Structure 1
Amino acid sequence: MRKNPDLQSLRGVPELKYVNADNVTRYRAIMRLIYQQYQKLNYWLKPEFIYEELMKWKLHKNYTLEQCQIDLNQLVEWGNLTAQHDGGERVVTVEEYLRKKFRYLLTPYSIEIERMLESLESIRGYGGSLEPTLFDKIADTLNKVSGNAGIYEPGEALEYWKTLINVFQTLHETSVDYIASLQTGMAEELMATDTFLLYKDSITHYLQDFIQALQRRSYKIEGRLHRITTGVRDIFFSAVMEDEWLIPKLEQSISKEEYLSELQDKWSSLNRWFLGDEESISDSVLLERATKEAIVKVVKSAVRIQEKKRSSISRKKDLDHLGKWFYNINELNTSHKLAAYAFGLFQSRHLQGEDIRGSDSKEMSMWQETSISRTIRSRSRKKNERQDSDAATDNSKLKKQFREAFLIKQKQELQFLIQMVTVRTINIAELGPISSITRLQLLDWISRCNASSTSSIQTSEGVQIEMNTPLGNNRTLLRCVDGTLELLNHNFVFTVMNHKAWEGQVAWLSAQQ
């Protein structure tokens, strides 16, 4: 987990005062000029050079060198600049001797502030993108970390670490920004116009492709993270620290303990993003949900626009022509066909009832089915007249019938299982005519074994059933009392794993008989 902030990290930031000071234009101009020179590898600047360059921008008409020097001193006081005595120039007058000359350099805080301000100027929205290839880069890097067996070339571990963290940060920031861009007011306004229909398909396909890549490739990353044990991770961190400390740094740097703590925090963030923790689900699952919600939003907006366009079109002439067409038809079947072509399926309503079919023939029309009577309760807010409640229905006889039928089925299934355990191994071709209950039981075993990675299951009676597919996929006929079924000639092996549970089931069956 990320460590809690200390008092030093929560201090005030005097380096930001120049952004909102009274003479903000002068301070910002000086800082932007020194920052541009810093990017050109021109680090230490003299006041005269700064003043001359500022005057070329023509931002201040009555600006003097003395005012520029005062502004530079103020920026030094705020911690934005570092001043160094310039002893390289010869002193000609007493005044120059008494007045020390300095050179100025940006502090690390100011460099990051100017970078941030420069990037803020180019922001035109959330931006972002959904890049599925970033998942592959993370998975490949994790594979290299786990596959090197703790042996790294000089600089290799640090390269893996930088690639992993940079790609992970890019994935998180760009994906979150892109999803957020679909929630802005500008996006809402666009989704309400007809122009949005031109973008609907491309946005939907873009989001769907990302979801498919996220679902397929995030599991690969989860598997790589599970495979990297604590020992492998610690060896990798040690190699990263060695590579980092091989880089000579003249400025004061953090200790190895603090650097190791940063590595562990970033690694925990990576694990939490893909695997989650005990308190919350992973961020990858949240991203998948947000992407699906964005797809639903896009589709609903497109449907709303289309419905609005259709509602504004008058269909009076069309309906008048269609009504005359129906009026001139003399046959009912022809009217049904015309209604199907003109209106399609009507809006369905789900009504509860018992489907009593008189025939299983698929050729039988729905118009020939027996109607089902169903009393529909009114949805009106008007209070209905009070009705007397009926007495509770006694279903004890029906429950007894269901219980007896269930016991009969359970006995037959257990008797068949006891026969199979006695035989221990058998092919489907060796089975004689079986009942419908036994057929369903056998098909249930086949279905569960096919779904198992080991092609074996264990029943509640404590019996393990292992299914073997025949060589050459030989097929056979399973004879049942209600018909014949063709299927693969599977071989089953029955083994009692829990003898106590099995003996209890056998004893129960004996007591029932």
Structure 2
Amino acid sequence: MEIKHKLLKQIDEARYLTAENAWRYRTILRFFYLQYEKMKYWMYKEDVLEELKRHGEFKSYTMELLKQDLDVLVSWKNLVPIQDTSRVSTVEEFKNKQFRYQLSEYSVEIERLTIRLENLFVENASLEPSLLEKLKRELERFPEMIYGEEKVVGAWWRDLNNDFKRLNQNYQDYIGDFYSLKAEEMMKTREFLVYKERFIDYLRDFIKGLQYNVSAIESILKNISQQEEKEVLHKIFSYEKSIPRLDEENWEEDILDNIQGKWINLKGWFLGENGRESEASRLFDMTNEIIRKITRFASQISESRNSAANRKEEYRKLAEMFLCCQEISEAHMLSALAFGIFHPRHIRGDSERKTESINSGIFDEEPYLYRIKPRTRNYREKEKKTPIIDHTEKKAEMLEKVMKDRQQEKDMMESYVRDGVIDFESLPMIDAQVRTTLLKWLARGVNAADGKGKTEYGILYQVVPPEEGKRCNILCEDGNFEMPSYRLHFEQEREG
């Protein structure tokens, strides 16, 4: 046995378990831990008080007592405070120091230890796609469990839940590390640039596995019918019930609730529940956000390196030196000294030279302008801005023409009215346009409940149905057709 300094050190973080007001401290830290599992890492004291007030044991609990308890937990290193300046609007509020609190790493593990005594499983943090693949393979065996023996179904159920617990806890711990103060401080250091690509590659590999396996698991869960689900859960209950236990009287009811709760949680993790987003979707968003966070910090580190050097004066001095050059050859030598050898790009094109001489240099010939377009999918050439043209006169002419055409059409239609009536049986030969208008008026009146309609010119009319069985032939320029002998009775007054 090797005795180290850490072994001899007192663990202050465990004081809240046996202190005088342990019932208050444990409740506060358990609430922090439950929110930690939901990936809500920072809490305000108002949130804590609101939750505690919901329980009868804390009816008389006040904000002053909560502040004292939080200060004690901070002194024992169970909570990590950070001053929240986002809500500050005055100097006085800044001096009062509004804090947000986060569960410390020691407290997370201690809470896990207490929950482990309540039969919860603890694993190390990682993001392994293999757990998702294993879950998918286990769920693909669901149809086999319908006809399997109870022992086989029970073993399958245990494996499924163990894998699900490991996946759930591992991603919470791993992602939670990225939201700690320690991680944020580390990502701001230049040493972190060495590990940046490894973290991003690791997260991207997990995202690929997440995208592939989660969609497959969702499809499997959606295809399971309620009857199949009921049969398998009943077999699991029968198997668990057959195991001898020295429990309370209602142990069978507890077992059934436990099985159903685990299955509901598993489905909710992948499919969501009550219209809420699934944990799988949230995990996908969180990993993408972490990648953006890492990239942002790396970019800030790179910018901070470059911002330290201000070469404005150097460039100004160099420009003055070029300005003092008497000949182009002198400027060439200065350029070679200042910038070294250039690596020009050779562009081949169909440009026309003014001379065929092979001895003329690039500075002897006239420049050739060539427009280079960016090779991107989203590139679009700028559209030429054209002024708005005033079409008032054209609009007036068009309006006059339309009104004239309508008046002609109106006069033509009124020519078929005899004593306020259009009798289809007495119509002369008509063209297709007149026939279309008359049939439209007829259909409008027939479809109305009172048999009335109104023309485009605001004249009301009544459709009078024909006598029983009476029909007529309409002569048209493009052919004849037979129809019931309707009549349209027009009113003299117009609605205007």
Relative to the length of structure 1, the TM-score reads: 0.41
Name which one, 1 or 2, has greater alpha-carbon Rg: 2
